[in-house]
Amino acid sequence: MYQIDLLSRVPIYEQIITQTKKLIAAGVLKPGEALPSVRSLSMSLHANPNTVARAFTELDREGVICTVQGKGCFVTEAAKQIIKKKSKERLSDVSALCRELIAAGITKDEIIAEINKINTDAQKKGEN
């Protein structure tokens, strides 16, 4: 289910957070459904249980999942909504990155052309 790159410079716990959100946004993990346990996930990802736990703690803090002592973690009803809202805030990251490229001589058109290359299949998956 999860695709983690243990060698990436992106922290593993962050990759788990991103992947989990992607799975929820895509409808693979539905509200009320249980996430894999920390122990099983850490084993299948060859990651440290602490690392997985850290990711889940963060997702819980964001309200995307809720942790039930002794039972596991479950996707909240509001998960998709929260994820979309958080993502909207990240439009400023896109903005900042593009500003930088534009300052370096890349044109607006080149950037937009790159974005238009993105497979629209992804849009279908993400649709509410």
82, 63 contact by CB (below 8 A): yes
Residue pair 99/44 in contact (Cβ under 8 Å)? The answer is no
Residue 11 binds to DNA (criterion: CB under 7 A):
yes
Q: Which is nearer to a second copy, 39 or 86 (CB)?
A: 86
Cβ proximity to DNA: between 70 and 105 the closer is: 70
Regarding 39 and contact with DNA (CB under 7 A), the answer is: yes
The contacts of residue 16 (CB under 8 Å, 6+ apart) are 2, 4, 41, 45, 47, 51, 52, 55, 56
Among a second copy, DNA, none, the one that 14 touches (CB under a kind-dependent 5 to 8 A) is: DNA
Task: Name the residues that contact DNA, by CB under 7 A.
Answer: 6, 11-14, 35, 37-40, 46-51, 53-54, 56-57, 60, 67-73
